[in-house]
Chains A and B, each alone.
Chain A
């Protein structure tokens, strides 16, 4: 075995592109393992754990660590790496020119946009988002790790300019049918959604879609928006905007329970349209129940939420391990299960210099493989932006877990229109041995049943 370890100072590529490069290298003949990633602490640790002698580096450097079955293979892999990195031309896009703009400011001058989507590392997100607001554009900040003072400043500037800041840490938005970030393919319709929770909003809108109810717009506001500090700045803007929007008849607000003073302020907005609150927390309805209330308000019958029970007899007892990619889904499941150890792999600490677990399954698969007994509860979130075929890597891992005697319960959030296909993903996971639910609440209750908790 031969190792190649290199730190390339000041070379930047985004984490998703690097994940693809790593995958391409790992598939190369004679390559045992390849880590090509920005040199964050997390990624340096990952390389150290794999036994590489990692030199000092900072998060602005590119880390290359390749192990191959001999020097010749290593040299080939290294050449392949250079090809991959240089071939990585900027993505196409309708407005592409010979030399693409280098800042959001410059892009907004060269091209007539309506919204900016910012997903640079968190410490740089404010600057790009400030460009967008300055140019009179609404902006979705997908990035996390953005300081709250910057969030407040941006939202105040946005209010002055009559635009909306969605985020930071905003995973999903649907604007007139166009999904930004992680977004399910939803039928157009009359429900407008304001969401301080990305995966919570995906659960709500996916279930609405399954009930035949469409969405006009889904406006994310970022997980902190309804905190006392941020004071619902974007929620207020979004509610007022949807109240004006002719396509919207009813508004759903998806959030963790807001800070009390913020709840009052939002309550006191004079809106002409009904607002149904889907608030996640102890003593509140779960998201599925909230969706059922929306359907009631619209006079639409509540369907039976699709599920696919596991073929083999369920085990009873044993610890419950929750392995989630969606933060809100994780919280909801933990609340409903009332017991067990839950991890949200989408949390900031797992995403520094790495792609989100909805794109990069590696960390979660590792955790799944380590569970020896009991019940695993996990979510799979479909839609644009997510892993194009999550069951391809997950189903074999589920099968192995089942062989170890572990029961696997999957909350599958998505719609039939999603590029991955709801039913084909469900079938694949179900065949591997998992019980699959489209309602996260139903999945959590089922898991609770399996471990024998009353």
Chain B
């Protein structure tokens, strides 16, 4: 057999004792060091077992290959009860499953608002009483129903959902329509203006967008996201470019579809820099779902928070959740709000990071580096460090400032345990008290135990 190592000049990767690298320097042998450190405490045995799994290498290649090759397309906007089979009294929510008893302020606030919106209660007090009693109420995780929702992520039967399909693998995913910033349901506000806005979205926005898309045909979200990254969005805390591109694509058809309503619809969409976020989340969800259920794969296919816990799901581990307490984000606050007003981390929007956007693409969004605490160098360092824990670089989602390098995609549980580097998550911050709304935005770290628990489960899988 021919050993390629013997053919040319040796080039060495040295991991471990520095003195062995110095010996290479003395001989002028080209080499590169690994800045190796021990793995997370207590994980070395599980790591060796999971890396010994003969399925792992190919399983991960298959799973991340599916995530990268997904071609999400926005095909319609439809009512939740029609596409998700939601019955009155059933609500989906962000993150791993949770009960009313354990739900945080903004999650409770959003559920109260959804009760009022659905006409299941005539006052917040009544809504709260009925939710607490549980009679006729069913709560379930959005992720269990091909759905994601930002912040509280509450979905009720009368809400209109963006419908995104994967033209490559055939999956479908849903996300609600974005309400804008400030006092909105997803941040736990449930005042009259919140419910009225939801009514308008159900009566006007949803039907107009559905009529629009039936004229335009499917909208290629993969291409739109790729363009937005090159225009300074990271698609989680900055969606200004993507929203603008979306409006450019849809505006003529909106006018054609509903000439009398076009102005108010366009005014609403234009007034909300985050309008695209929910479409991007559905695109990320349908892509990540394509990578699910590959036996032996250690790829993370969902990261989501319910305001109490942060949970992850892993391709080789089915629909099981691995959770830890949700952390309080570190960031900038609106007006007089401060950290003491902040709720722990909440929302399914971490599906953007799961698919290589958001915090992972921070280097693409220099405009918001101050917003998430730091300078441009920090943003580059954040993205660069994510290559250490991901399996691939995205072929379409590229970062101009990094020489058009693809964004880091496909978090590998074993790489998180080995390096101790946790996913960088950009996020909005909800007020702790139900009914408050948004209080800020910033960065948050997932709990390490979610990853170590998943690693342990992979040993047995």
A residues whose Cβ falls under 8 Å from a Cβ of B: 10, 12, 14-17, 60, 90-96, 99-121, 123-124, 126-128, 130, 132, 134, 137-138, 142-143, 150, 153, 162-164, 175-176, 178-181, 183, 217, 237, 240-241, 244-245, 355, 359, 384-385, 419
Least CB distance from B455 to A in Å reads 12
Known A-B contacts A124-B38, A385-B23; A176 and B17 likewise in contact (beta carbons under 8 Å) = no
Contacts of B419 in A (CB 8 A): 102-103
A164 touches B12 (CB 8 A): no
Known A-B contacts A12-B38, A116-B15, A359-B19; A419 and B32 likewise in contact (beta carbons under 8 Å) = no
User: Which of B6, B30, B35, B418 has the most A CB atoms < 10 Å from its CB?
Assistant: B6
- In Å, the complex CA distance between A137 and B17 comes to 19
Contacts of B41 in A (CB 8 A): 10, 60
Contacts of A142 in B (CB 8 A): 16-17, 20
Least CB distance from B419 to A in Å reads 5
Known A-B contacts A60-B38, A91-B25; A115 and B11 likewise in contact (beta carbons under 8 Å) = yes
A16 touches B51 (CB 8 A): no
Known A-B contacts A95-B31, A126-B52; A102 and B6 likewise in contact (beta carbons under 8 Å) = no
Q: Which of A118, A150, A153, A181 contacts B15 (CB 8 A)?
A: A118
B14 touches A93 (CB 8 A): yes
- In Å, the complex CA distance between A269 and B347 comes to 62
A102 touches B38 (CB 8 A): no
B415 touches A103 (CB 8 A): yes
B5 within 8 Å of A (CB atoms): yes
Least CB distance from A244 to B in Å reads 5
B388 touches A91 (CB 8 A): no
B9 within 8 Å of A (CB atoms): yes
User: Which of B4, B19, B24, B33 has the most A CB atoms < 10 Å from its CB?
Assistant: B19
Least CB distance from B391 to A in Å reads 9
Least CB distance from B413 to A in Å reads 13
Q: Which of B9, B13, B37, B44 contacts A12 (CB 8 A)?
A: B37
Known A-B contacts A91-B18, A163-B5; A102 and B34 likewise in contact (beta carbons under 8 Å) = yes
- In Å, the complex CA distance between A207 and B367 comes to 66
A138 touches B3 (CB 8 A): yes
B381 touches A99 (CB 8 A): yes
Contacts of A178 in B (CB 8 A): 9-10, 12, 24, 27, 29
What 8 additional pairs, Cβ within 8 angstroms, besides A127-B47, A142-B20, A163-B5?
A12-B38, A60-B41, A123-B45, A124-B44, A126-B48, A163-B3, A164-B3, A385-B23
Contacts of B38 in A (CB 8 A): 10, 12, 60, 121, 124
- In Å, the complex CA distance between A419 and B25 comes to 13
B39 within 8 Å of A (CB atoms): yes
Contacts of B8 in A (CB 8 A): 114, 176
Least CB distance from A280 to B in Å reads 26
Could you count the A-B residue pairs with CB atoms below 8 Å apart for me: how many are there?
217
Q: Which residue of B lies closest to A38 (CB)?
A: B38
Least CB distance from B48 to A in Å reads 5
Q: Which residue of B lies closest to A245 (CB)?
A: B6
- In Å, the complex CA distance between A127 and B298 comes to 15
Q: Which residue of B lies closest to A419 (CB)?
A: B26
B22 within 8 Å of A (CB atoms): yes
Contacts of A120 in B (CB 8 A): 15-16, 36
Least CB distance from A230 to B in Å reads 16
Contacts of A217 in B (CB 8 A): 6
Least CB distance from A333 to B in Å reads 26
Contacts of B13 in A (CB 8 A): 104, 107-108, 111, 113, 115-117, 132, 137
Q: Which of A91, A124, A153 contacts B39 (CB 8 A)?
A: A124
Q: Which of B10, B25, B51, B57 contacts A175 (CB 8 A)?
A: B10
1/0 contact trace for B257-287 toward A, CB 8 Å?
Answer: 0000000000000000000000000000000
A102 touches B388 (CB 8 A): yes
Q: Which of A15, A94, A106 contacts B17 (CB 8 A)?
A: A15
Known A-B contacts A102-B419, A126-B51, A240-B1; A107 and B32 likewise in contact (beta carbons under 8 Å) = yes
Q: Which of B1, B20, B47 contacts A162 (CB 8 A)?
A: B1
Least CB distance from B382 to A in Å reads 11
Q: Which of A100, A114, A384 contacts B35 (CB 8 A)?
A: A100
Contacts of A103 in B (CB 8 A): 15, 34, 36, 388, 415, 418-419
B2 within 8 Å of A (CB atoms): yes
- In Å, the complex CA distance between A106 and B1 comes to 28
A93 touches B21 (CB 8 A): yes
B34 touches A101 (CB 8 A): yes
- In Å, the complex CA distance between A181 and B10 comes to 14
B39 touches A101 (CB 8 A): no
Contacts of A91 in B (CB 8 A): 18, 21-22, 25, 33
Q: Which of B6, B19, B381, B415 contacts A176 (CB 8 A)?
A: B6
Known A-B contacts A119-B17, A178-B24, A241-B1; A128 and B36 likewise in contact (beta carbons under 8 Å) = yes
B445 within 8 Å of A (CB atoms): no
Contacts of A181 in B (CB 8 A): 20, 23
B12 touches A244 (CB 8 A): no
- In Å, the complex CA distance between A237 and B4 comes to 12
B387 within 8 Å of A (CB atoms): yes
Least CB distance from B218 to A in Å reads 35
A-B pairs with beta carbons under 8 Å apart, 12 shown: A92-B33, A93-B14, A95-B32, A102-B36, A111-B32, A113-B11, A114-B5, A116-B14, A178-B24, A178-B27, A178-B29, A179-B23
B residues 180-234 in Cβ contact with A at 8 Å: none
Q: Which of A137, A176, A384 contacts B23 (CB 8 A)?
A: A384
A107 touches B15 (CB 8 A): yes
B90 within 8 Å of A (CB atoms): no
Q: Which of B16, B31, B47, B52 contacts A143 (CB 8 A)?
A: B16
- In Å, the complex CA distance between A112 and B31 comes to 10
Least CB distance from B135 to A in Å reads 50
- In Å, the complex CA distance between A403 and B418 comes to 53
B52 touches A150 (CB 8 A): yes
B69 within 8 Å of A (CB atoms): no
Q: Which of B16, B32, B47 contacts A101 (CB 8 A)?
A: B32
User: Which of A90, A115, A121, A237 has the most B CB atoms < 10 Å from its CB?
Assistant: A115
- Identify the 6 closest CB pairs spanning chains A and B, nearest first: A95-B32, A119-B16, A384-B23, A241-B3, A94-B30, A100-B35
B385 within 8 Å of A (CB atoms): yes
B33 touches A93 (CB 8 A): yes
Least CB distance from A112 to B in Å reads 6
- In Å, the complex CA distance between A118 and B298 comes to 24
- In Å, the complex CA distance between A143 and B44 comes to 15
Contacts of B387 in A (CB 8 A): 106, 109
B residues 138-164 in Cβ contact with A at 8 Å: none
- In Å, the complex CA distance between A379 and B324 comes to 55
Contacts of A12 in B (CB 8 A): 37-38
Contacts of B2 in A (CB 8 A): 162, 241, 244
